């Protein structure tokens, strides 16, 4: 390594924009090492933001005590932020005042990732991965779908978030025919999958050195499949949770890398439980990736006992069957709230501003919120002021 000359203000060269980095080759690695050695030799000298070209959205991220260890690795990635944000969050990259301060390097694991997900559950994980410093080279999400009364094409929550962070987005209709080359070109260390909605063929699962890690909203092997949150509530489970799974060719059958439980509160619905599990999953995937990178993970095969399947919700399921016990109907209302919502034909026992009391196969159920098809959700008292119902009335 060689010491470099130090430029000081007002040298005109400090005002020049740096050339964009396209390939991190050996000459650039040597330059970074020389710059680091120069900073160690001249205490107080650092890399100013303009010197690492914030205007081109390029930053340096340091992974360990560099460059004085054989594991030296600098990662250059595009900063996912505006210029003003970059200036406040990465305005300098200064060296420690002494080499001894590097005796215990931080336990960091910045990886190059391909992320696959579609709904808000996945958006939370993507945001947390970026916050943790990982380089998300490509985001996969399902194609835009018609939504709303006008049936206009709408972006998924993951796509909206990714575009807002200047991430590259790929929306294939199938990964079996047109996905592998694009994903391989991203050169990921690992794939992270969360509620994506498309099958990943083996060719995609094999692209990355660390494979594909799935964030699944249940305690596997219970509730494999598409609707684990709703199925857990419908079944009256006392607990659910999040599993981080190493994906294989089966339906949520891969080895479990990490698992954490969450109690289901009596007033939890699909919305509140979703938010708890999304937050937990986002933290767990960051911790699991660090463990994978450090070699601390011991994959645990799923047991053959206790397997259940969380099949996709059908529209007919949302129609409440009042011959069922009231406790099951109450679970169904919570499982289908806030979407798609439970629908019903009612035998009204009594009605008041406090709500409706409706006969069930065993017991009765008090209803405190109602929503007409195509309308908005209303408190029962407000609904009944516009739609007065007498005891004994049956309506649909």
* Contact indicator for 149, 124 with CB cutoff of 8 Å: no
Residues 324 and 295 in one domain: no
Please tell me the predicted confidence (pLDDT) of residue 88: 35
Residues 131 and 243 in one domain: yes
Residues 171 and 257 in one domain: yes
Region 190-203 average pLDDT:
95
* Contact indicator for 242, 216 with CB cutoff of 8 Å: yes
Q: Is 300 exposed, middle or buried (0-12, 13-18, 19+ CB in 10 A)?
A: middle
Residue 36 has pLDDT above 70, yes or no: yes
Note the pLDDT tens digit of each residue in 335-345: 999 999 988 76
Region 4-26 average pLDDT:
74
Residues 154 and 82 in one domain: no
The residue among 108, 142, 137, 143 whose CA lies nearest residue 122 is 142
Please tell me the predicted confidence (pLDDT) of residue 46: 55
Residues 41 and 125 in one domain: no
Most confident of 272-276, 324-328, 392-396: 272-276
Residues 52 and 72 in one domain: yes
Residue 85 has pLDDT above 80, yes or no: no
Q: Which of residues 318 and 12 earns the better pLDDT score?
A: 318
From 81, 102, 123, the end of a domain falls on 102
Predicted model pTM: 0.68
Does any domain span residue 26? Answer: yes
Residues 158 and 217 in one domain: yes
Please tell me the predicted confidence (pLDDT) of residue 8: 73
Q: Which residues constitute the domain of residue 56?
A: 12-102
Cα–Cα distance measured from residue 141 to residue 172, given in angstroms and rounded to the nearest whole number = 8
From 274, 289, 310, the end of a domain falls on 310
Please tell me the predicted confidence (pLDDT) of residue 166: 94
**What's the chain's length in residues?**
396
Cα–Cα distance measured from residue 146 to residue 150, given in angstroms and rounded to the nearest whole number = 8
CATH number, domain containing residue 377: 3.10.25.10
Note the pLDDT tens digit of each residue in 318-366: 998 888 999 999 999 999 999 999 887 666 666 677 777 877 778 888 8
Please tell me the predicted confidence (pLDDT) of residue 84: 37
State the pLDDT confidence band at 32, using cuts at 50, 70 and 90.
confident
Please tell me the predicted confidence (pLDDT) of residue 40: 63
Note the pLDDT tens digit of each residue in 157-181: 999 999 999 999 999 999 987 678 9
Most confident of 309-318, 343-352, 370-379: 309-318
Note the pLDDT tens digit of each residue in 94-110: 333 333 444 444 445 58
Residue 7 has pLDDT above 90, yes or no: no
Residues 29 and 82 in one domain: yes
Please tell me the predicted confidence (pLDDT) of residue 3: 77
From 246, 279, 310, the end of a domain falls on 310
Residues 74 and 182 in one domain: no
Q: Which of residues 230 and 33 earns the better pLDDT score?
A: 230
Does any domain span residue 390? Answer: yes
Cα–Cα distance measured from residue 319 to residue 299, given in angstroms and rounded to the nearest whole number = 41
Please tell me the predicted confidence (pLDDT) of residue 370: 79
State the pLDDT confidence band at 19, using cuts at 50, 70 and 90.
confident
Cα–Cα distance measured from residue 159 to residue 170, given in angstroms and rounded to the nearest whole number = 9
Cα–Cα distance measured from residue 361 to residue 43, given in angstroms and rounded to the nearest whole number = 79
Does any domain span residue 2? Answer: no
Does any domain span residue 4? Answer: no
End-to-end Cα distance, the chain: 80
CATH number, domain containing residue 180: 3.40.50.170
Cα–Cα distance measured from residue 16 to residue 22, given in angstroms and rounded to the nearest whole number = 18
* Contact indicator for 113, 136 with CB cutoff of 8 Å: yes
Cα–Cα distance measured from residue 320 to residue 330, given in angstroms and rounded to the nearest whole number = 10
Please tell me the predicted confidence (pLDDT) of residue 49: 45
Does any domain span residue 1? Answer: no
Percent share of the chain, pLDDT over 90:
52
Sequence-distant (≥ 6) Cβ neighbours of residue 57 within 8 angstroms = 78, 79, 81, 83, 86, 166
Mean pLDDT of the chain: 80
Residues 75 and 135 in one domain: no
Residues 283 and 216 in one domain: yes
Does any domain span residue 88? Answer: yes
Q: Which of residues 33 and 221 earns the better pLDDT score?
A: 221
Looking at the 3D structure of the chain, how many domains does it have?
3
Q: Which of residues 254 and 365 earns the better pLDDT score?
A: 254
Does any domain span residue 373? Answer: yes
Residues 173 and 226 in one domain: yes
Does any domain span residue 353? Answer: yes
């Amino acid at each position: 390594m060689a010491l470099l000359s130090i430029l000081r203000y007002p040298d005109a060269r400090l005002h020049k924009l740096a050339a964009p980095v396209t390939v991190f080759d050996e000459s650039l690695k040597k330059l970074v090492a020389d710059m680091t050695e120069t900073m160690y030799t001249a205490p107080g000298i650092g890399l100013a933001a303009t010197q690492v070209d914030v205007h081109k959205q390029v930053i340096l991220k340091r992974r360990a005590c560099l460059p004085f260890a054989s594991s030296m690795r600098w990662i250059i990635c595009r900063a996912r932020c505006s210029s003003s944000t970059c200036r406040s969050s990465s305005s300098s990259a200064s060296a420690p005042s002494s080499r001894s301060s590097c005796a215990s390097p931080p336990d960091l694991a910045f990886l190059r990732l391909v992320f696959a997900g579609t709904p808000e559950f996945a958006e939370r994980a993507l945001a947390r991965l970026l916050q943790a410093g990982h380089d998300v080279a490509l985001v996969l999400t399902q194609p835009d779908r018609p939504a709303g009364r006008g049936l206009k094409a709408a972006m998924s929550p993951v796509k909206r978030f990714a575009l807002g962070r200047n991430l590259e987005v790929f929306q294939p209709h199938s990964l079996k025919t047109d996905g592998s080359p694009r994903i391989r070109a991203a050169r990921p260390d690992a794939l992270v999958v969360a509620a994506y909605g498309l099958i990943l063929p083996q060719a995609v699962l094999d692209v990355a050195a660390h494979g594909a890690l799935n964030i699944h909203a249940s305690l596997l092997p219970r509730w494999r499949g598409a609707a684990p949150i709703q199925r857990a509530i419908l079944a009256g489970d006392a607990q659910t949770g999040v599993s981080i799974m190493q994906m294989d060719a089966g339906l949520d059958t891969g080895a479990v890398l990490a698992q954490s439980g969450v109690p289901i509160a009596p007033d939890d619905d699909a919305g509140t439980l979703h938010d708890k599990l999304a937050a937990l999953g986002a933290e767990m995937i960051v911790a699991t990736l660090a463990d994978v990178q450090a070699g601390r993970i011991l994959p645990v095969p799923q047991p053959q006992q206790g397997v259940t399947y969380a099949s996709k919700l059908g529209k007919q399921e949302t129609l409440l069957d009042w011959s069922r016990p009231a406790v099951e109907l109450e679970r169904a209302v919570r499982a289908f709230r806030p979407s798609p919502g439970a629908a019903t034909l009612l035998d009204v026992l009594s009605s008041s501003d406090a709500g409706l009391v409706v006969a069930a196969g065993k017991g009765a159920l008090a209803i405190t919120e109602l929503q007409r098809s195509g309308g908005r959700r209303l408190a029962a008292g407000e609904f009944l002021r516009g739609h007065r119902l007498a005891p004994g009335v049956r309506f649909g």
